[in-house]
Amino acid sequence: MSRALGTFPWDSLADATALARSHPDGLVDLSIGTPVDPVPQLIQDALAAAAGPPGYPTTHGTPELRAAAVGALARRHDVTGLPTDAVLPTIGSKELVAWLPTLLGLGAGDLVVIPPLAYPTYEIGVQLAGAELLRADGTLAVGPRRPGLLWLNSPSNPTGRVLPVEHLRKVVDWARERGTVVVSDECYLTLGWEAEPVSVLHPAVRGDSFEGVLAVHSLSKSSSLAGYRAGFVAGDPALVAKLLAIRKHAGMIMPRPVQAAMTAALSDDEHVAAQRARFAARREVLRTALVDAGFRIDHSEAGLYLWATRDEPAWDTVAWLAERGVLVAPGTFYGPTGERHVRLALTATDERVAAAASRL
């Protein structure tokens, strides 16, 4: 299979990166959500303790891991009634996002709906499958065609917007009437600031059934496990079973030590709360500095990013910030309607965030 996927968006930041790096006080990189805080010790210990067994791990994940995921969803997000066989570990969440249309059997002639502003990998997944893409405008106006897959993302990357329960339930009901699979990317669900995000797996959204609904979760941000590639998908048991069968054949298996590390991370809420507090403090410093410098912050009521604008083309704002040694992502990476915004990540150390604030 050969498809033209285009240039990786962040590669186009090379010139801005060089300019920002030339700042006398060094680069402050807020362009990508890469964790900078240490992996909690209890997770490192669990990883090391599982390093000895030589056999193949299970694609479905250990029973302990799946039980820990169900427990975490219940404690942290009030998701009840989820069976443990309806959880499947993934090698980070990005690979699942990229390959999900293909794994669900979508291809030429099938329609996939994504948010108008969205993580670029949603579109890449559609291209890999050879399907057709539609950016929804929030009204579910897709014409007479039945989408095979509809992506939700709340809190949103990049905007930080939170979809209310009523809207989520409306989408699920609409999709079930048409046999459309709803997949909710919930990687930032623990990071609600001015609004409380709700999982698509919550009973208030999915009703008394998980039919046709999946949620994608990542431990990259909540537990600083980006380097471990630790994620999972949960929801409709029939859909999870379909994904499991294909992933067994394809060898898409999470390493056993990472499964152990995930189990530890999902079983402990204290480190998640501590990480959330770090992000909250950095958000306050950065948000205040941006507003004082004349930026407007739109949405951003949750998640790991600030969606900011100076009411000018995004690349002009990127250049303005790069001159001050601060690297950010232009909103155009996420869709045409992001042309006048930039996205700033909260994933820099306290010292670097303070440096960015002082330069603004």
- Domains in the chain: ranges and CATH: 9-38+271-359 (3.90.1150.10), 54-268 (3.40.640.10)
pLDDT of residue 144: 73
Residues in the chain predicted with pLDDT less than 70, given as ranges, are 1-7, 10, 137-143
The Cα 121–Cα 123 span in angstroms is 5
pLDDT for the residue 137: 67
pTM: 0.92
Structure token digits, residue 152: 């939700």
Distance CA(313)–CA(236), nearest Å, equals 42
What does the pLDDT look like over 169-186, one tens digit per residue?
Answer: 999 999 999 999 999 999
Paired with 111 in beta bridges are 132
Specify the long-range contacts of residues 44-50, CB closer than 8 Å, at least 24 apart. 44/261, 45/264, 46/260, 46/261, 46/263, 46/264, 46/265, 47/228, 47/257, 47/258, 47/260, 47/261, 48/257, 49/260, 50/256, 50/257, 50/259, 50/260, 50/261
Please tell me the predicted confidence (pLDDT) of residue 194. Answer: 95
* Distant-in-sequence, close-in-space partners of 78: CB < 8 Å, separation ≥ 6: 199, 202
d(CA 159, CA 153): 10
First CA to last CA across the chain, in angstroms?
47
pLDDT at 2: 41
Which amino acid, 132?
Answer: E
Give the pLDDT score at 306: 97
Token pair recorded at residue 208? 């008394």
pLDDT recorded at residue 4: 66
pLDDT at position 357, please? 96
* pLDDT at 140 (0 to 100): 57
Write the DSSP string, 8-25.
Answer: -GGGGGHHHHHHHHTSTT
pLDDT score of 11: 80
pLDDT at 288: 97
Tokens, residue 204: 């208030």
Say what the pLDDT of residue 328 is. Answer: 96
Q: How far apart are CA 109 and CA 252, in angstroms?
A: 27
